[in-house]
Amino acid sequence: MEDLFGQYARQQAGARGARQAPRRGSDLKGETQVSFRDAVLGGKTEIHVRQPDGATKTISATIPAGIEDGKSIRVRGQGHPSPNGGEPGDLLITVHIDSHPCFQRKGKNLEVTVPVTVAEAALGATVEVPTPKGTVSLPIPPATSSGKRLRLKGMGVQPGKGDAGDLFAVVQIVLPAQLDDEAKQLLESFAQKQTDDPRTGLQW
């Protein structure tokens, strides 16, 4: 009988101890909007979090380079406080990325449309192209058509870990808005000497 009472007392003491063990606070969730540039290169963001007492707290968070849209970053210790003296939870921030007027992103790779003149496309040229790592020179081979994809290796997104992606420059031939008489004559002369049919193979 004494063993039964002793076992019961120990169970009750264990239950009280378990109830008194500090519990970690729950995580808090938030969202932030960042620029395309900060998502690629990394940066800072601020988020306003409402506290249990109703006050608003501004929390700064680091945006890691190469983060993708919809991913979350964790700010440790900025979640809800513990109800009984334990560690606070974390703040989980979902990142939404603005679009860019010129660049598009596909994973670690970037794509940009590069306008060139008719002469540059026909004769070849070297043009300047902006990249996350600075402006670089891009060779345009002679007889380059619109839509041609030229690869700049390692000039894409550089995440915190792993190799950088590539930048693909898509050539777009831009016709002049106006042609003077001399330019028209040159084009007409060129057209008369043009023997290739660009629509060969075009069929239903």
Give me the mean pLDDT over the 75-81 stretch. Answer: 89
pLDDT at residue number 83: 85
Query: Over 90: is that where the pLDDT of 97 sits?
Result: yes
Q: How many domains does the chain have?
A: 2
Note whether 31 and 74 are same-domain residues: yes
Give me the mean pLDDT over the 146-172 stretch. Answer: 95
Q: Tokens 């991913």 identify what position?
A: 71
The number of residues making up the chain comes to: 204
Q: Is residue 16 part of a domain?
A: no
Can you give the CATH number for the domain in which 72 is found? 2.60.260.20
Note whether 118 and 134 are same-domain residues: yes
Give me the mean pLDDT over the 139-166 stretch. Answer: 94
Q: Is residue 13 part of a domain?
A: no
Distance CA 39, CA 103 (A): 13
Note whether 27 and 80 are same-domain residues: yes
What is the per-residue pLDDT across 81-93, written as a single tens digit (0 to 9) for each? 888 888 999 999 9
Note whether 90 and 110 are same-domain residues: no
Note whether 90 and 64 are same-domain residues: yes
* Cα dihedral 66→72→76→81 (10° resolution): 160
Note whether 47 and 83 are same-domain residues: yes
Domain that holds residue 160: 103-177
Note whether 116 and 69 are same-domain residues: no
pLDDT at residue number 34: 96
| C-alpha separations of 80 from 22, 26, 40, 83 in Å | 14, 5, 30, 9
Note whether 86 and 126 are same-domain residues: no
Q: Which residue has the higher pLDDT, 55 or 197?
A: 197
Q: Is residue 185 part of a domain?
A: no
Q: Is residue 189 part of a domain?
A: no
- List the one residue out of 138, 96, 99 whose CA is nearest residue 120: 138
Give me the mean pLDDT over the 121-141 stretch. Answer: 96
Note whether 86 and 111 are same-domain residues: no
Helix or strand (DSSP H, E) at 106: strand 103-106
pLDDT at residue number 76: 93
Q: Is residue 2 part of a domain?
A: no
Q: Is residue 8 part of a domain?
A: no
Which of 97, 128, 146 is the last residue in one of the domains?
Answer: 97
In whole numbers, what is the pLDDT of the chain averaged over residues?
89
pTM for the predicted model, two decimal places: 0.78
Note whether 120 and 85 are same-domain residues: no
Distance CA 199, CA 76 (A): 61
Give me the mean pLDDT over the 157-175 stretch. Answer: 94
Q: Is residue 50 part of a domain?
A: yes
Query: Is the Cβ–Cβ distance between 65 and 158 less than 8 Å?
Result: yes
pLDDT at residue number 155: 96
Give me the mean pLDDT over the 176-197 stretch. Answer: 89
Give me the mean pLDDT over the 137-154 stretch. Answer: 97
Percent of the residues in the chain that have a pLDDT greater than 90, as a whole number: 63
Note whether 166 and 120 are same-domain residues: yes
Note whether 65 and 31 are same-domain residues: yes
Q: Is residue 156 part of a domain?
A: yes
Distance CA 63, CA 90 (A): 16
